[in-house]
């Protein structure tokens, strides 16, 4: 099951590793962007143990949450209207201190995750990636 809203999608690999990234309607554009992410991560993270991606969680006025992903010091996308249960599952997955950054492709009745179909994704070590969130 994938959660999608705004311009992002979030799912879990093996039911507990978060996989997050922007979603596209055009597959070629998604593959191109995923390759750009990989090249950018290789360039900025060479030799460093910190991740070039930051995840920020904010509570919305209606009680739900938004998850914003920022990479390379610019916004990559945002998920809106995430309920607390799904958010807790996401944060629990981040306790393993890693997540996967990839792109998703919108299809008629499904969402294609490029890390699964093309092997295009980056496993990021994330001990300090997420801001301190408490319900």
Whether residue 130 lies inside any domain: the answer is no
Domain that residue 103 falls in: 3-125
Q: Which residues have C-beta within 8 Å of that of residue 132, sequence separation ≥ 6?
A: none
Query: What order do you get walking across the sheet with 53-59 strand by strand?
Result: 53-59, 65-71, 74-82
Q: Which residues have C-beta within 8 Å of that of residue 112, sequence separation ≥ 6?
A: 27, 104, 105
Phi–psi pair at 80, nearest 5 degrees: -110, 160
- Residue with structure tokens 């301190």? 132
Number of structural domains (the chain) is 1
Whether residue 7 lies inside any domain: the answer is yes
Whether residue 132 lies inside any domain: the answer is no
Q: 99-110: per-residue pLDDT in tens?
A: 899 999 998 888
Q: 12-55: per-residue pLDDT in tens?
A: 988 688 999 999 999 999 999 999 888 877 776 555 555 567 88
- For the chain, what percent of residues have pLDDT higher than 90? 36
Whether residue 133 lies inside any domain: the answer is no
Whether residue 80 lies inside any domain: the answer is yes
């Amino acid at each position: 099951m994938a959660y999608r809203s705004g311009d992002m999608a979030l799912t879990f690999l093996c039911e507990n590793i978060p996989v997050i990234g922007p979603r596209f309607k055009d597959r070629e554009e998604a593959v191109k962007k995923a390759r750009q992410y990989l090249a950018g991560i290789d360039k900025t993270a060479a030799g460093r143990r910190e991740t070039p991606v930051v995840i920020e969680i904010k509570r919305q006025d209606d009680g739900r949450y938004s998850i914003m992903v920022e990479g390379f010091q610019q916004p990559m996308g945002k998920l809106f209207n995430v309920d607390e249960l799904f958010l807790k599952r996401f944060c629990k997955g981040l306790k393993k201190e890693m997540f996967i950054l990839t792109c998703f492709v919108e299809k008629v009745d499904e969402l294609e995750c490029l890390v699964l179909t093309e092997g295009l994704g980056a496993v990021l070590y994330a001990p300090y990636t997420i801001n301190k969130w408490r319900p």
